[in-house]
Amino acid sequence: MRTIKTRTIMTKSDQGNRWFGIDYHMNLYKGCPFGCIYCTSRCEAYHITNFDEVKVKENALEILEEELKSKTKPGVVSFGTLSDPYNPEEEELRLTRRALELINYYGFGVSIDTKSDLILRDIDILKEIASSNSVIIKISITTFDDEMASKLEPKVISSTRRFEVLKILRNNGIYAGVLMTPVLPFLTDTEENILNIIEKSHDADAKFIYTKLGVSLKTNQKDYYFEALDRLYPGLKDDYIAVYGSKQFCNTLQFRYLLELFLKKCSEYNILTDMNDIIKDYKKEIPQNEQMSLF
């Protein structure tokens, strides 16, 4: 495992907290070993060389503490937009764990994207943060079918285990749901898959499911995906090329039908699907005088 130094760790969200109410993004690790064939973090725009090798930002916690201290207004800090914060190295290094402790100490909220059950180790600190601040956990699930998941996400725990993780988080009172992204045309865009994910999310008491019903395919990330398709599903790449050409975002072919089905079923189970509704539901407003007393 390689270590690298960083000069900054938190970056202000360029989406003005429209994406899950996130105020700051942070990646304690660079690269991710989970091998998802569709991963958008492989895009050259993110400048991550040897993406499958995890690099540890060795001074991340010092910088994080300085940055948390210097902010005049607390907000929600996102872990894991470009790399899973619970990669196997985290078990020993505990960088994510220690960052959560700092976030708790300085009165910030947290948003975590993960496909790992290692998050369960940190339930205690997540509960502590949630007692006074905003916490949202997104468990990423693209297919209910464990066999397909083992092809699409070869080094990730099974989808069945991910639903169990979600249930344990919910049983502990932590706000959590499913990030059903991407939805892969010709592979996971079936009625059976979508309905099964909704059923299993409901069984796990998910607060939300968020999806865009499509996949983003850009530059070298697209090349990586197509190479994987050639290996795993020979001939499928040609279908993509025939239907989508050079499009950078590929909506599922039955977009309207699947969207209506998705919204109807989620609404029957009171599972939120709209970004604004999810933000309103989980994000706590910190009263101004309480904010001031933290600094």
Q: Which residues bind ligand SF4 (CB under 6 A)?
A: 32, 34, 36, 39, 41, 83-84, 115
Question: What value, to the nearest 5°, has the Cα angle with vertex 22 and ends 268 and 179?
Answer: 40
For residues 35 and 44, what is the distance between their CA atoms, to the nearest angstrom? 16
Query: Could you tell me if 191 and 255 are in contact, meaning their C-beta atoms sit under 8 angstroms apart?
Result: no
For residues 223 and 220, what is the distance between their CA atoms, to the nearest angstrom? 5
CB of 39 to ligand SF4, least distance (A): 3
Cα dihedral sign for 234, 155, 218, 185?
A: positive
Cβ nearer to ligand SF4, comparing 57 with 265: 57
Cβ nearer to ligand SF4, comparing 32 with 180: 32
Cβ nearer to ligand SF4, comparing 48 with 64: 48
Cβ nearer to ligand SF4, comparing 40 with 251: 40
Q: Map residue 211 onto helix, strand or coil.
A: coil
Q: Map residue 177 onto helix, strand or coil.
A: strand
Alpha-carbon distances, residue 49 vs 2, 45, 53, 263 (angstroms)? 12, 11, 9, 39
Task: Write the CB contacts of 218 (distance below 8 Å, at least 6 apart in sequence).
Answer: 40, 43, 45, 248
Cβ nearer to ligand SF4, comparing 134 with 140: 140
Cβ nearer to ligand SF4, comparing 68 with 119: 119
CB of 122 to ligand SF4, least distance (A): 17
Q: Map residue 57 onto helix, strand or coil.
A: strand
- Rounded-to-10 torsion of CA 87, 93, 95, 98: 130
Question: 154 preceded by cis ω (within 30°)?
Answer: no
CB of 34 to ligand SF4, least distance (A): 4
CB of 155 to ligand SF4, least distance (A): 8
CB of 191 to ligand SF4, least distance (A): 24
Question: How many CB atoms neighbour CB 267 within 10 A?
Answer: 11
CB of 101 to ligand SF4, least distance (A): 23
CB of 36 to ligand SF4, least distance (A): 3
Cβ nearer to ligand SF4, comparing 43 with 286: 43
Query: Could you tell me if 201 and 271 are in contact, meaning their C-beta atoms sit under 8 angstroms apart?
Result: yes
